[in-house]
Structure 1
Amino acid sequence: MDIPRIFNISESAHRIHNPFTPEKFATLGAVLRLEPGTRVLDLGSGSGEMLCTWARDYGITGVGIDMSQLFSEQAKLRATELGVADQVAFIHGDAAGYVTDEKCGVAACVGATWIGGGVAGTIELLKKSLYTHGIILIGEPFWRQLPPTEEVAKECFATAISDFLTLPELVATFDELGYDLVEMVLADQEGWDRYEAAKWLTMRRWLEANPEDDFAKEVRAQLTTAPNRHVAYTREYLGWGVFALMER
């Protein structure tokens, strides 16, 4: 079980696999008013930066699940590096359908709502692991501005304009599902730069080290097109944020 190889290559040097920066995750932890001992579930936990830094800074405990074997191993190393390996655990596995035996105060899926078939399904899945009056965290893209054509939408990692909502539409969806939006922290263009541009040096270094690899042609194609795609489309049209929800 693993994610597509291109992500394990292009994001192998990432600690955060979305457009958040360390400062944004610190802000999110602060505004959630996390208390020591709060148990956090993170579906699609990547390299574990959210859980590990929150364990260090706020004294939380928790578990993360991710399909990438590489990222799961990096998460365990990060926990050891920050001295929180006794507080957080990381599982290499499929987070779809995962429910904890021990209820959590915070249940998160930050940027991988495909796990539950979309926002509504992911919220329902996370709810199964949550204490009453606990907080659900959903990380989700939205349109900063609507693309003028379907072709532009496809350059923003969408299959169609309808794949993503505008921010007001996304917030209205939470309301329609019966949840109060109690906090939110939004990524900015600098965050997108850090997420996307960091891939380019990683891919270039990989190509230099693996010129004969059968996958080199695909990595080269990605590196050639990614910078223009990012500056022309992603950073202009696509927003992203983490939304804190509590059921009414």
Structure 2
Amino acid sequence: MDKNELVSITQGGLAIMNPTTPAKVLAAGKAAGLREGSRVVEVGCGNGTILDLWGREYGISGLGIEAREDACTRAEEAIRSSGLSERIAVLCMDARDYAPDEPFDCAAAIGASHIHGGFSATLDALLGLVHDEGTIVIGDRCWRSDRVPPEFAREWPDVLTGYEILSLAREAGLDVAAVVRSSADDWDRYESGIWQAVLSWLGDHPDHPDRDFMTDYLHRIQDEYFGYGQEQMGWAMYVLVPGFW
């Protein structure tokens, strides 16, 4: 099954396609200094919920970039329904090919580090989208400690510890203004939403040629979550600002 199709099936029905909440998204936006007139670009904007929240709460303008056409349609509808279409646009394309006409005040990638190949590459890409005083918001997986069993760590070679993320930010000349972490309930709600979507798809597609693949996928992600994800894997939004040193 195509990767984009898998994401649409498993997460397309989630308002926020990450283990977080609207309140935490707003907290990250506040820490990033978003206000009326702030220009924001979100790489991998999914269903547009985060830009919609920031647009309604803080009055931002800007752009969401998303490669999946069905997600772009949902994002455009969410933004239109909130009356934000004149301020926030959705560009349906590979974010790696995007070059801004002018720099933004804030660049975000919430659960979208895979687009550029990990946290470090995403940070570099987002820095190329903002001006010198711009802020960065990255939502990503992280290990809960630096003592993750090697057999688990090898399964996720791109996942970093919080200290490694702090070090990368400082190397880029940034300070960490805030960390907005997911709770156990956030994780359970997010993972459960994915399981329910897969089960619903299986019920609706009894003869689909990818049925065995989807069943295996469901069992694999559940094995990961119950086996070590609950205990070892974290997720957080990191708000990064220009350093004063």
- Same-fold status (TM-score > 0.5): yes
Q: Quick check: 1:167 aligned with 2:166?
A: no
TM-score by length of 2: 0.90
Percent same amino acid among aligned pairs? 31
Q: How does 1:175-190 map to 2 (within 5 A)?
A: 175-190=170-185
Query: Partner letter of residue 187 of structure 2?
Result: W
Partner of 1:98: 98
Offset at residue 229 of structure 1 (A): 2.7
User: Quick one: distance in 1 between partners of 2:229 and 2:14?
Assistant: 18
The C-alpha deviation readout for 1:168-208, integer Å capped at 9, x for no partner, is: 22212211222111222122222211221101111111111
The C-alpha deviation readout for 1:37-96, integer Å capped at 9, x for no partner, is: 111000111111110111111111111111222211111111122222222111111011
Offset at residue 97 of structure 1 (A): 4.0
Offset at residue 10 of structure 1 (A): 0.9
Partner of 2:73: 73
Q: How does 1:7-18 map to 2 (within 5 A)?
A: 7-18=7-18
User: Quick one: distance in 1 between partners of 2:144 and 2:188?
Assistant: 15
User: Quick one: distance in 2 between partners of 1:125 and 1:148?
Assistant: 31
Query: Partner letter of residue 148 of structure 1?
Result: P
User: Quick one: distance in 1 between partners of 2:116 and 2:217?
Assistant: 28
In structure 2, the CA distance between the partners of 1:202 and 1:119, relative to structure 1 (3 Å rule), is closer
Moved over 4 A (4+): none
Offset at residue 154 of structure 1 (A): 5.3
1:245 alignment partner, one of 215, 234, 240: 240
Structure 1 unpaired stretches of 5+: none
TM-score by length of 1: 0.89
Whether the 8 Å contact between 2:44 and 2:65 is mirrored in structure 1 is: yes
* RMSD (CA atoms): 1.9
Structure 2 unpaired stretches of 5+: none
Q: How does 1:1-248 map to 2 (within 5 A)?
A: 3-145=3-145, 146-150=147-151, 152-153=152-153, 158=156, 160=157, 163-248=158-243
